[in-house]
Amino acid sequence: MVQIVIATGNPGKRREYRALLADLPVVLVMPEELGLSVNVEESGTTFEENAVLKALAYARAAGMPALADDSGLEVEALGGFPGVHSARWSGPTDADRVNALLAKLEDVPWARRGARFVCVAALATPAGDVVTAAGTVEGRILFAPRGRGGFGYDPVFYVVEAGRSMAELAPDEKNRLSHRGRAARAVRPHIEALLNVNPPPPPA
């Protein structure tokens, strides 16, 4: 069975990719299972650049295909901030960043609290081939956290399509609607090609 290393230490992302790719004949390996600790400087200015940097670094280090994810929150009233800085711009914990975001938006009315989650998944091979796929989901930033599911900014991200916060959705609902679910479905044909599970029909 083909192995793919999941190029992230984020437990929330890992859990979601495990579910999103559960039906594929592939073993998803965590970096520490291979004794790997890869430190990638996320020096890119876009989600795509950072996803590619991470996927290539892990694929080379592991000697097997790697699936990386760079994702984040873009808030319209903040000109797209925190964007690629979503994981690091304030405090060490998710709760610190959620509180800092709510403070920044304190005086912003509901009508101007539009936001989107963006995810770029990158699949790289040790030889240096890489493909990317993106997904987004539209929403609004709530005035206070709601729900206990998911991770990161999920409790303050109101999913317009669902009428609930991302953290109020069951895991399979989140995966159906989320930026990561969409990116995973878009990258799936590339994983299948790697596994050769859907080979082209034999010549006539």
* Enzyme catalytic residues: 70
- The rounded distance, in Å, linking the Cα atoms of 193 and 195 is 5
Q: Which residues pair with 165 in a beta bridge?
A: 158
| Of 2 and 87, CB closest to ligand IMP | 87
Q: Which stretch binds ligand IMP (CB under 6 A): 18-26, 149-157, 181-189, 192-200?
A: 149-157
**For residues 74 and 119, is the Cβ–Cβ distance under 8 A?**
no
Spatial distance between the Cα atoms of 139 and 179, rounded to a whole number of angstroms = 11
Q: How far is the CB of 154 from ligand IMP (least distance, A)?
A: 4
> Collapsing DSSP states into helix, strand and coil, what is residue 142?
coil
Which residue in 78, 87, 100, 108 binds ligand IMP (CB under 6 A)? 87
Contact string 155-174 vs ligand IMP (x = CB under 6 A): -----------x--------
Q: Of 115, 112, 105, nearest to 143 (Cα)?
A: 105
Dihedral angle of Cα 138, 12, 29, 176, to the nearest 10 degrees: -40
In single-letter form, the type of residue at position 24 comes to L
Residues 98-137, mask of contacts with ligand IMP (x by CB under 6 A): -------------------x--------------------
Under the binding rule (CB under 6 A), the answer on residue 152 touching ligand IMP is yes
Q: Would you tell me which residues interact with ligand IMP (CB under 6 A)?
A: 10, 42, 69-73, 86-87, 117, 150-154, 166, 178, 180
